[in-house]
Structure 1
Amino acid sequence: MTDHRPTYDWNPRSDTVLDNPVASFDDMRQRCPVARSKYMGWSVFRHEDVLAVVTDHETFSNQVSKHRSVPNGMDQPEHTPYRTLIEPFFTDQRMALFEPECRDIAAELARAIAGRKQVDIVAELAEPFALQIQCAFLGWPDSLQEPLREWAHENHEATLAGDREAMAEIAQRFSRYIHELLETRREQGNWVPEDPTTEIMRSTIDGQPIPEKDIVSILRNWTVGEIGTIAASVGLLLKFLADHPSLQATLREDVDLIPEAVDEILRIHGPLVTNRRKATGPATLQSRQIETGDRVTVNWISANRDEGVFPQPDQFRWGRDQSQNLLYGAGLHVCPGAPLARLELRVLMEALLQISGAFAPTPDKAPVNAYYPASGYQHLWLDFDES
């Protein structure tokens, strides 16, 4: 059937967008806040419209993939018991128990780069930190860190290329990692370690054991979210602080300001670019008619730079209303792991600012931007003074 609706408004895969995504999103938010493209369907750029989509769970479904995704790709009522299962892993008590191990990892990595020049932050800090923290939190062996790094990179490349065959193979490879982990734990019997992986393996939904494919999906979603967003966040935070030495000095003097600074820096340029929804019925956004079955992509980075909510959005400001910050999403699917992410970023920033000397961009080594669907940097070189 011929689609008689308006032609496409933008090309999110153009060189202009890929080379400078934030500026492109800002332009679209002003010029065409609900825009149609071949690659993304409808893209939603304004804060109020993003909130409207992600909080209207009747009209905009999270079931956007033919592959089961637990719990990210579920709607109510199926979503509720899985969300109830997952949330206790991120309580204040759990975070307090994990903080010492998190501090040890952060301190070791901070000491390894202190006083050095031309440090590629992505390769030597951001990715190692995300991988080590993920394995430590879930109780996975260190031997999985390098396979997970390769898996994350290949998954990003396949997603960028739209290579569905490669994406399927990569997903199967991750599933094999998890199946092997679970089988090893079953063989350990009473000697199995007590950690989130074991707890999920033993958990039930409505009195029934969780199917192994759902366990794999939960752990895959945690891993994709953790490795990609934490690594991107570290790069974005350090680039901003390297470019703003007075703010860097302020945080060295008062580490209690770090949590607010982290949220504000990542509001300016966040680690997660978009999420998808599917319209279950007709809807209207900014006078654009959304039809049943249409793909709708919410743009978190753009929403967090909306001038109507955050005046002069490029400026770092103390005291902004961070309750409006969509860094961790909103609605039923707001990120359950936000407490863990906040802990990790706070602890790493504290370690770097206390252990390393002042840092600045390496002269003549321009950062290399990451390409969508990633955010942040592929490479970021910084020089560290002696502490």
Structure 2
Amino acid sequence: MSDNRTPDWNPRDDSILDDPLPTYDRMRRECPVAWSPFQHWSLFRHSDVMQVLHEPETFSNAVSQHLSVPNGMDPPEHGRYRAVIEPYFSPDAMARFEPRCREIARELVQSLPQAGSIDVIPAFAEDFALRIQCAFMGWRCDLHEPLREWLHRNQTATLAGDRDAMAQVAVDFDSTIRSLLAERRATSNDAPEDTTTALMRETVNGRALTDEELVSILRNWTVGELGTISASVGIVLNTLARNPQLRNRLAEAPENLGKTIDEILRRDAPLMSNRRVTTCPVTLGGRRIEAGERLTLLWASANRDETVFGDPEALNPDANADQNLLYGAGIHVCPGAPLARLELNTLFEELLYWRPQFEPEGTAKRARYPAGGFARLPLRFSAGPETE
């Protein structure tokens, strides 16, 4: 059994949880395919991760005991559901959402102090993720705080490895989603014309999506959005606060924001990892892995691979864009990438216009795996040149 093997590393060591990137950088050199009871087979190198991403017949996404649409599906089933959801992130869909996205971003940015300090994780990054997700889905504003509480409970249970608590959090979230579906059915033709209502009208394989499928899609979108957008906002804020020259350049040339944000998030991942399971015996990094073994794809390491990106700390968006795994690769590349880019680009356009002067204040605290980004990030804002 796997649990009887000698671990190659301990991903739950406090020193790694507090600051994982130095360990990831070392493991790429010393043990790029490593086993541990917690992560099973961890893949640190870009080339190994890319092999997994482009061989779905060998490395299956069906890793969850619960229905996961379409993340936890393999071809051909994956393609059928993927075709249903991709139009929600099309250029036309993004263009329709952009005005509301900008309105939310501007309101939040203008609520920041013109002079003073705040912890931007709860007061800005989380607020943005919650408001923007509810707006995109067409959910009521009174769901912001329940969703925040759910997000914190989920993070706490996951960090503690408390499976019972994690199961209860999932049940509570699914109950919220089912109540939203029931509300729309009760209002029939008066249901709001929004993303949630549109999904309820979708079909796959010639039939309507079941409630179980709808809940799974909405759960995946919400879990991914709340956690990764909040983490992304914190990571980019931290980078810009510590690099005023970069911040000033982007304020003067906001057309470069998109590619620069992608590159910042390559260097410091908002989403730390994903999972796969082998369908047959394989060899990766000189290690034989049997069928049915679980793999952890460490985006946070693969996207810092020196053999691909050179100095992992250097920001070089033009050179690194094609190999950046921020949104994955292969058939499971993130369908929501256009939405995430729209949200982040718009938020930082507004921030650098209305509140361009900010710097670190006090001690930041990293979020712990499996979360990325920061748990605490105090920044001081100061009045810059007047902007009309």
TM interval, shorter chain, is over 0.9
Check whether the contact 1:160–1:372 (CA below 8 A) recurs between aligned residues: yes
Rounded Cα–Cα distance in structure 1 between residues aligned with 2:21 and 2:222: 25
Paired residue type of 1:286: G
2:367 equivalent to 1:353 = no
1:181-200 alignment to 2 at 5 Å?
A: 181-200=180-199
2:367 equivalent to 1:370 = yes
How far does the alpha carbon of each residue in 1:281-337 deviate from its partner, in whole angstroms, 9 at most, with x for none? 100001100101111010001111001110111111242230210000111111000
Please report how far the alpha carbon of residue 167 of structure 1 lies from its aligned counterpart in structure 2 after TM superposition. Answer: 1.0
Partner residue, 1:277: 276
Rounded Cα–Cα distance in structure 2 between residues aligned with 1:382 and 1:102: 24
Aligned residue for 1:309, secondary structure, equals helix
CA change 1:85–1:318 in 2 (3 A) is closer
Partner residue, 2:33: 34
Rounded Cα–Cα distance in structure 2 between residues aligned with 1:252 and 1:76: 44
Aligned residue for 1:272, secondary structure, equals coil
Percent of counterpart pairs with the same letter? 52
Structure 1 range deviating more: 83-92 or 64-73 = 64-73
Partner residue, 1:298: 297
Paired residue type of 1:96: A
Aligned residue for 2:184, secondary structure, equals helix
How far does the alpha carbon of each residue in 1:66-94 deviate from its partner, in whole angstroms, 9 at most, with x for none? 11111111111111111000000000111
Rounded Cα–Cα distance in structure 2 between residues aligned with 1:206 and 1:63: 20
2:73 equivalent to 1:74 = yes
Calculate the TM-score normalised by the size of structure 2. 0.97
Partner residue, 2:122: 123
1:39-58 alignment to 2 at 5 Å?
A: 39-58=38-57
CA change 1:4–1:262 in 2 (3 A) is closer
Check whether the contact 1:114–1:357 (CA below 8 A) recurs between aligned residues: no
Rounded Cα–Cα distance in structure 2 between residues aligned with 1:326 and 1:38: 26
Partner residue, 1:237: 236
Partner residue, 1:218: 217
Partner residue, 1:379: 376
How far does the alpha carbon of each residue in 1:35-84 deviate from its partner, in whole angstroms, 9 at most, with x for none? 00000110000000001112110111111111111111111111111100
Aligned residue for 2:241, secondary structure, equals helix
Paired residue type of 2:375: Q
1:79-228 alignment to 2 at 5 Å?
A: 79-228=78-227
Please report how far the alpha carbon of residue 3 of structure 1 lies from its aligned counterpart in structure 2 after TM superposition. Answer: 5.4
Rounded Cα–Cα distance in structure 2 between residues aligned with 1:25 and 1:177: 38
Paired residue type of 2:367: A
Check whether the contact 2:3–2:37 (CA below 8 A) recurs between aligned residues: no
Paired residue type of 2:381: F
Check whether the contact 1:109–1:125 (CA below 8 A) recurs between aligned residues: yes
Please report how far the alpha carbon of residue 273 of structure 1 lies from its aligned counterpart in structure 2 after TM superposition. Answer: 0.3
Paired residue type of 1:348: L
Structure 1 range deviating more: 84-93 or 162-171 = 162-171
Please report how far the alpha carbon of residue 111 of structure 1 lies from its aligned counterpart in structure 2 after TM superposition. Answer: 0.6
Paired residue type of 2:77: E
Which runs of 5 or more residues in structure 1 are unaligned? none
Check whether the contact 2:251–2:356 (CA below 8 A) recurs between aligned residues: no
Paired residue type of 2:307: G
Check whether the contact 1:54–1:331 (CA below 8 A) recurs between aligned residues: yes
Paired residue type of 1:183: A
Rounded Cα–Cα distance in structure 1 between residues aligned with 2:116 and 2:54: 46
Rounded Cα–Cα distance in structure 2 between residues aligned with 1:294 and 1:206: 31
How many correspondences in the alignment? 384
CA change 1:36–1:112 in 2 (3 A) is same
Check whether the contact 2:119–2:376 (CA below 8 A) recurs between aligned residues: yes
Partner residue, 1:9: 8
Structure 1 range deviating more: 160-169 or 273-282 = 160-169
Check whether the contact 2:262–2:317 (CA below 8 A) recurs between aligned residues: no
Aligned residue for 2:288, secondary structure, equals strand
Rounded Cα–Cα distance in structure 2 between residues aligned with 1:28 and 1:158: 27
Please report how far the alpha carbon of residue 163 of structure 1 lies from its aligned counterpart in structure 2 after TM superposition. Answer: 1.2
Partner residue, 1:339: 338
Rounded Cα–Cα distance in structure 1 between residues aligned with 2:134 and 2:110: 20
Aligned residue for 2:309, secondary structure, equals coil
How far does the alpha carbon of each residue in 1:132-174 deviate from its partner, in whole angstroms, 9 at most, with x for none? 0000000000011111111111111111211111111111101
Rounded Cα–Cα distance in structure 2 between residues aligned with 1:223 and 1:4: 33
Aligned residue for 2:10, secondary structure, equals coil
Calculate the TM-score normalised by the size of structure 1. 0.97
CA change 1:275–1:170 in 2 (3 A) is same
Rounded Cα–Cα distance in structure 2 between residues aligned with 1:47 and 1:368: 27
Please report how far the alpha carbon of residue 231 of structure 1 lies from its aligned counterpart in structure 2 after TM superposition. Answer: 0.2
Deviating above 3 A after TM superposition, structure 1's stretches of 4 or more consecutive aligned residues are 2-6
Check whether the contact 1:70–1:82 (CA below 8 A) recurs between aligned residues: yes
Paired residue type of 1:369: R
Rounded Cα–Cα distance in structure 1 between residues aligned with 2:134 and 2:235: 22
Paired residue type of 1:38: P
Aligned residue for 1:118, secondary structure, equals strand
